[in-house]
Amino acid sequence: MQQNELTQKMTRLNQDAEARTTMLITMQGNCVVSVGDLSYLNVPAISALVAGMFSATQEVARLVGEDHFSILLQQGEKRNIHISLIDNTIMLLIIFDDVMTMGKVRYVARKALRDIADAYSYTKVDKQVDGEKFKEFAISLIDSIFDEK
């Protein structure tokens, strides 16, 4: 239920910002939620790359005497991205087409950050899996994929 709430908030943000795609990505490069148009996106790849890019930027921040940069903007010919740090573990990525809406994107993102952070915090309670059962199935999958390669 809490995950649905997070997805709903993200969907609303995506609409309010008139964005193409909005994603929540962990600093380890995993996508938590992605909403909007995903048809053109390689989600695992962009999650890994954005996390890497953001971490590199944090290193740049450190080198110039900042604790961190909380917002990253990338402007392109047809698409633009806005990344904002939510806490030290997740980032909000907004992909939008019209550069003229940059101000709107920033405003909507800033306004929604706290709300999304709260919704996200509820989803972090991990379900325990049955360790023995998981191990048995996972090793069987590993065998089937890697054997005789």
Partner 1 sequence: MLMPYMNHSAREISFKIVYYGAAMSGKTTNLLHIHKVLSDDVKGEVVMLDTEEERTLFFDFFPIYLGTIEGFKLRFNIYTVPGQVIYEASRKLIVNGADAIVFVVDSQPSRLNDNFQSWQSLMTNLELCNVDAGQVPIVLQYNKRDLEPRIEIGTIERALGLNGIPVFESSATRGIGVVDTLKKVSIMMIERFSTANLK
Q: Treating both helix axes as pointing N-terminal to C-terminal, what angle do 102-123 and 2-16 enclose, rounded to 10 degrees? A: 180
Looking at residues 106 to 145 of the shown chain, list those that interact with partner 1 (rule: CB under 8 A): 123, 126-135, 137-139, 141-142, 144-145
Nearer to partner 1, 78 or 88 (CB): 88
Looking at residues 7 to 66 of the shown chain, list those that interact with partner 1 (rule: CB under 8 A): 7, 26-33, 42, 44-45, 48-49, 51-52, 55-56, 59
The residues, ordered by sequence, that sit 6+ positions from 19 with a Cβ below 8 Å of its Cβ are 13, 36, 94, 95, 96, 105
Which residues sit at the interface with partner 1, rule CB under 8 A?
3, 6-7, 26-33, 42, 44-45, 48-49, 51-52, 55-56, 59, 123, 126-135, 137-139, 141-142, 144-146, 149
